[in-house]
Structure 1
Amino acid sequence: MSALFEPITLRELTIPNRVWMAPMCMYSAAAEGPDTGAATDFHLTHLASRAAGGTGLVMVEATGVLPEGRISAHDLGLWNERQQDALARVAAAIRSYGSVAAIQLAHAGRKASTLPPRLGGAPVTVADGGWQAVAPSPEPFDGHPAPHELTVEEIAGVVQAFADAARRALAAGFQVVEVHGAHGYLVHSFLSPVSNHRTDAYGGSFENRIRFALEVVEAVRAVWPQELPVFFRTSATDWLTENAEDERDGWTGEDTVRLAKELQAAGVDLLDVSTGGLVATAKIPAAPGFQVPFATAVRQATGLPTGAVGLITDPAQAEQILTDGAADVVLLGRELLRNPYWAHQAARALDARSHWPTQYGWVVGPRD
């Protein structure tokens, strides 16, 4: 039996294999009018095709819990019923092909209010139709306007927005919800001392800097069914200096292990381990599997299941990650954009079976 195609059960949810689709922003939601932030036919086709392709879990891209929590005006949102209804079509389609429907809830923080990457990705000011970005401290991201420093009352409002979006995700038919705590967005910017210069209960010490992340997780967990899992995506390092002693060294792999223990106690069932995104000038040593050791460190120190992501492209490579015990699942990003049927082809290469749509049954061979 291929490790990559063994089911995995988290809480009471069984996911048919360990080839998962990572959340990737498509910047294709409705950008104006009553359907602002709503999923479109593109999302239905894009995500359902990966489920038909045999991917065990398909995760919808970063979905803003508030209008000002979007990266761009073209991002998905989940702060109203119209958005919920549009996403319900997507979740139903994913499930209809035997895959698990997951969604990542997000707030872009100080990296909000930009053009989509295909239009250059530049910040959009309030005067030009954008909105005021928010953050733990008024420290701008590279080339962006200074964000508004959230008050304690505003922080509580964002926490509530995550819980409200989780309720809508459940009503829309999603089986997994993930809190986006990575890539320099709001939750991550609270965690790292590079971006969090607060002196109140949400800044300073490690315990204070993780407070917002834990409050978000606890609020989501409180409204999410006990039988269904909650994930958390982390940037395991800011890719500054892992061993130095001042705040310029940012968030480190050791910090991530400490955070993972607290997240596990708060009800997180899997840590989705990425890296970077906080500092535009960080030098990231990208290479096949370069983020896997961070997932391994968390798994070994805590026993918390982890997902490995980042330049995982080859079936044998993915299989080895699992058989080595380096992670519990693999998440594919750009490789699944290139090849929606990667899971079926990987199963064939590994002499395993993937879950084909029943409509395709007449072409499925003995090794599929």
Structure 2
Amino acid sequence: MSSPSQFRRIAGRSVSAIGLGCMNLSHAYGVPPPEADAQRLLLRALNLGVTLFDTAALYGFGANEELVGRTLATHRQRFFLASKCGMQGVNGTRVIDGRAATIKATCEDSLRRLRTDHIDLYYLHRWDKNVPIEESVGAMADLVREGKIGSIGLSEVSSATLRRAHAVHPVAALQSEYSLWSREPELGPLQTCRELGVAFVAFSPLGRGFLGGTLQEVASLDAKDIRKTMPRFAPEAYASNLRMLSAAREIAHEARCTMAQLALAWLLARGDDIIPIPGTVQIAHLEDDLGAGRVTLDAGQVARLEAAFAREHIVGARYNAASLAEVDSEAYPA
């Protein structure tokens, strides 16, 4: 197999083949790093050639957008900025709200926090199932016409919902979880994206740290770490899931790469319309992740990887029942 391109396209714009998911710097994985460390990581990513930075109103209830704005506003012409609406903090509580007025108000707040006059790609973070997708996307289309956002994205929606949204206004990108151990996008969304010309942005491409091979036990995770709520990270399930990594270690050794690079290289090889956005709080991990673009896997290695991570080997769902009820994306039968 040939080496993947170092660039991908979203909404007619060229972006780095590997972007940066900024969530970890403010949200979901326990105590965030000190701001100075987070700023150094963002600037290091920019200087290493990352041109896609992904944040959201939800992350840190606005704190992540503020961090990105403070750190990168003076470099705004050097990168493609993505953020999200439709799920945010309201009086300290996470709320899903896809009403037109809320989307427009959230965008104004995000522009202020990000210190910019436009967001290149604006996602509906979650489809509010109490509001027709057409209404939410219609509000986002108004924002495009007003020049406040450049293009529209959706997150964690099904092929059917993507088609409904695309009929209202062209959708530039679909963002969903996709990795060796979360392959639900292959149930239809990837094919629909290719049919419609929609880029696919893969969040949690390293399986929330699992595929990096360094998280050997979960008991020490911070009490507020989001993985504590996920069935496949429950201690007994996780101990079983760790067995899948032995084959990956062998293939990584053959390919002369790290485990994280192997997982990202697999995703990059799935198609030049797929853009993984790993997140990290450590510069060493950032540098390691970006090295995945230099890794080439042959067809035999890909087949062995996919066999090792076959669905029947994975113990536990990717989300708990409450979180699964909030997403609209396709899922394997229980």
TM-score by length of 1: 0.51
Asked if structure 2 preserves the Cα contact closer than 8 Å seen for 1:270 and 1:307, the reply is yes
Q: What residue is the counterpart of 1:307 in the other structure?
A: 201
Structure 2, unaligned runs of 5 or more = 28-33, 212-259, 298-334
d(CA) in 1 for partners of 2:6 and 2:96?
A: 41
Asked if structure 2 preserves the Cα contact closer than 8 Å seen for 1:25 and 1:75, the reply is no
CA separation of 1:224/1:49 partners in 2, compared to 1, >3 Å: closer, same or farther?
same
Q: Does 1:53 align with 2:48?
A: yes
- Cα shift at 1:221: 1.6
Q: What residue is the counterpart of 1:18 in the other structure?
A: 17
Q: What residue is the counterpart of 1:268 in the other structure?
A: 171
- Give the counterpart letter for 1:257 in structure 2: S
Q: 1:62 aligns with which of 56, 59, 84?
A: 56
d(CA) in 2 for partners of 1:49 and 1:4?
A: 21
Q: Does 1:219 align with 2:142?
A: yes
> Residue deviations 1:57-91, cap 9 Å, x none?
122x222xxxxxx575x63287xxxx69x816423
Structure possessing the higher radius of gyration over alpha carbons: 1
Q: What residue is the counterpart of 1:246 in the other structure?
A: none
Q: Does 1:160 align with 2:104?
A: yes
- Give the counterpart letter for 2:172 in structure 1: D
> Residue deviations 1:135-179, cap 9 Å, x none?
56xxxxxxxxxxxxx9xxxx4431321443465578627662322
d(CA) in 2 for partners of 1:223 and 1:40?
A: 33
| Higher RCO (Cα < 8 Å, 6 or more apart) | 2
Q: CA RMSD in A?
A: 4.1
Q: What residue is the counterpart of 1:296 in the other structure?
A: 190
Aligned partner of residue 62 in structure 1, secondary structure: coil
d(CA) in 1 for partners of 2:96 and 2:290?
A: 42
Q: Does 1:234 align with 2:155?
A: yes
- Cα shift at 1:258: 2.0
Asked if structure 2 preserves the Cα contact closer than 8 Å seen for 1:308 and 1:331, the reply is yes
- Give the counterpart letter for 1:5 in structure 2: Q
CA separation of 1:47/1:263 partners in 2, compared to 1, >3 Å: closer, same or farther?
farther
- Cα shift at 1:45: 2.3
Aligned length: 236
- Give the counterpart letter for 2:166 in structure 1: Q
d(CA) in 2 for partners of 1:102 and 1:27?
A: 17
- Cα shift at 1:341: 0.9
Q: How does 1:136-215 map to 2 (within 5 A)?
A: 155-165=99-109, 168=112, 172=116, 176-182=120-126, 188=127, 190-191=128-129, 196=130, 202=131, 209-215=132-138
CA separation of 1:56/1:163 partners in 2, compared to 1, >3 Å: closer, same or farther?
closer
- Cα shift at 1:230: 2.1
- Give the counterpart letter for 2:155 in structure 1: T
- Give the counterpart letter for 1:232 in structure 2: G
d(CA) in 1 for partners of 2:266 and 2:153?
A: 24
- Give the counterpart letter for 1:14 in structure 2: S
Q: What residue is the counterpart of 2:321 in the other structure?
A: none
d(CA) in 2 for partners of 1:269 and 1:348?
A: 27
Seq. identity, %: 10
- Cα shift at 1:22: 2.2
d(CA) in 2 for partners of 1:25 and 1:134?
A: 20
d(CA) in 2 for partners of 1:2 and 1:263?
A: 34
Q: Does 1:92 align with 2:86?
A: no
